Structure 1
Amino acid sequence: MGGVLSHQYSLYFNRDVTPFPPDGIKQDPLFGFEDRPVKVMIATEDELASCKVPPNKRDYCAHKWIEYKKCYAENIPWVQNCEHEVHEYNDCLYAELVDTYKDYERERRLLVRAQRIAAKKAKENLEE
């Protein structure tokens, strides 16, 4: 099954253990990690506004996008000179996508774990 169909199936049949990404992360993002770096927005709101960064580009990779656009403006019509900036921006987007996937899967596993612990406690209470 494709990713979208699989997620829709899980939302319908396993709603209690399937995270809904637009709701955000409900668990502590550092739970289970000893040395996970905290994500920090490098570009400030003033920089984003002055560079006219569109809303869909205002993420953790916005500073790379700004560098790419500066290089692009300086090197027109030889924009192939900005390959390094494009590569860095795409690498940043890919790393962010992988982090998003990992956060989703971690959230799902924590929900399954919480459900399993609750079922175990309920079973112990019935036995007593």
Structure 2
Amino acid sequence: MQVTRKQMADARIPLEYRDYCAHLLIPLNKCRYQTFYLPWKCENERHSYEKCQYEDYKRRMRALNKQRLKEDQEKH
């Protein structure tokens, strides 16, 4: 985590979004607020946040597969 709980609370990040990529969600939400949520205004911030979410998903799936392989090896 690159952001503290206090920083996330101050930025009013909902609990379900307080994850590995919350440090990118704070500037994205700030940009969205300042530009009245116009979808074409915060493309760079949104792309960075979505890429982080995707990379985090891939990292968690690799860890899950590694754990499954380890469990399978222990069975045999």
Q: TM-score, normalised by structure 2?
A: 0.90
Q: Would you identify which runs of 4 or more consecutive aligned residues in structure 1 move more than 6 Å?
A: none
Structure showing greater radius of gyration is 1
**Corresponding pairs, count:** 76
Structure 1, unaligned runs of 5 or more = 1-40, 117-128
1:115 paired to 2:75: yes
| 1:59 counterpart residue number | 19
Residue 67 of structure 1 and its aligned partner are, at CA, apart by 1.1
RCO higher in structure (CA 8 A, sep ≥6):
1
Query: Structure 2 counterpart of 1:73, which letter?
Result: Y
1:49 equivalent in structure 2: 9
Unmatched 5+ stretches in structure 2: none
Question: TM-score, structure 1 length as denominator?
Answer: 0.56
Q: 1:109, 1:56 → 2: CA distance?
A: 29
* Identity, % of aligned positions: 28
- CA separation of 1:77/1:51 partners in 2, compared to 1, >3 Å: closer, same or farther? closer
